[in-house]
Structure 1
Amino acid sequence: MIQVYRYDENFIFVEPVPIEEPGEDGKYVIPENCTTIQPPSFIKPMFHPEEQKWSEVATQAEKDEILKQVEKGRVLSPLDELKFQNAQIMVQLAEAQNLIESQSKMIADLLLRLAEGGEA
């Protein structure tokens, strides 16, 4: 599993997107409007595909408004939002690892049955 970062038509960060499995060729397919480059902890990150980097594009007024909202407890701070997103990603990773372990055990059991001359 890999993590990519989706941006909108104006190249503004939208959300992290996990890609669970590679394609048939073993390589992960990166969707359009996504990059593997993680955005920094900006309020309004904008991706520059030609330079392969992120920059902050929030105006001072936007920053001040978000800070007011955070102080009033109406929205998560950018750091708290990233912590929440990270927690979600960790849960997805744990679920994927559980599935892999389950499938590995199933395959091992089937191979053991075949080796013992039994039917699968």
Structure 2
Amino acid sequence: MIQVYRYDENFVFVEPVPIEEPGGDGKYVIPRNCTTIQPPSYIKPMFHLEEQKWSEVATQAEKDEILKQVENGRVPSPLDILKSQNAEIMVQLAEAQNLIESQAKMIADLLLMLAEGGET
């Protein structure tokens, strides 16, 4: 599983998107309007295709409005949002690791069965 970052038609960050499985050739297919480059902790990150980097495009008025809403408790702070996203990613990672461990055990059991002559 990999994590990519979707941006809109104006190249402004929309959301992280997990890609669960690689395509038939073993490579992950990155959807259109996505990048593997993680945006920094900006309020309104914008992706620049040519430079392959993010920049902050929020105006000072937008930043002030968000900070005012956070102070009033109406909107979670960008840090709170990132913490929540991080928690979701950690759960996905744990699930993927659990699956890998299950598959490794299954393969080990099959190899042992083959080594014993195919008897169960």
| Common topology (TM > 0.5) | yes
Q: 2:24 maps to which residue?
A: 24
Residue-pair matches, total: 120
Alpha-carbon distance in structure 1 between the residues aligned to 2:75 and 2:105: 44
What is the CA distance between 1:57 and its match in structure 2?
A: 1.2
Is 19-28 or 38-47 further displaced after alignment?
19-28
Alpha-carbon distance in structure 2 between the residues aligned to 1:10 and 1:45: 11
Q: Report the AA paired with residue 17 of structure 1.
A: V
Q: 2:116 maps to which residue?
A: 116
Alpha-carbon distance in structure 2 between the residues aligned to 1:119 and 1:25: 35
Mapping of residues 95-114 of structure 1, within 5 Å: 95-114=95-114
RMSD: 1.5
Mark the runs of 5 or more structure 1 residues left unpaired by the alignment: none
Q: Does 1:38 align with 2:38?
A: yes
What is the CA distance between 1:25 and its match in structure 2?
A: 2.1
Mark the runs of 5 or more structure 2 residues left unpaired by the alignment: none
Q: 1:91 maps to which residue?
A: 91
TM-score by length of 1: 0.91
Q: Deviations over 1:32-84 (max 9, x none)?
A: 11111111111011111111111111122211111111001111111111111
Alpha-carbon distance in structure 1 between the residues aligned to 2:73 and 2:116: 63
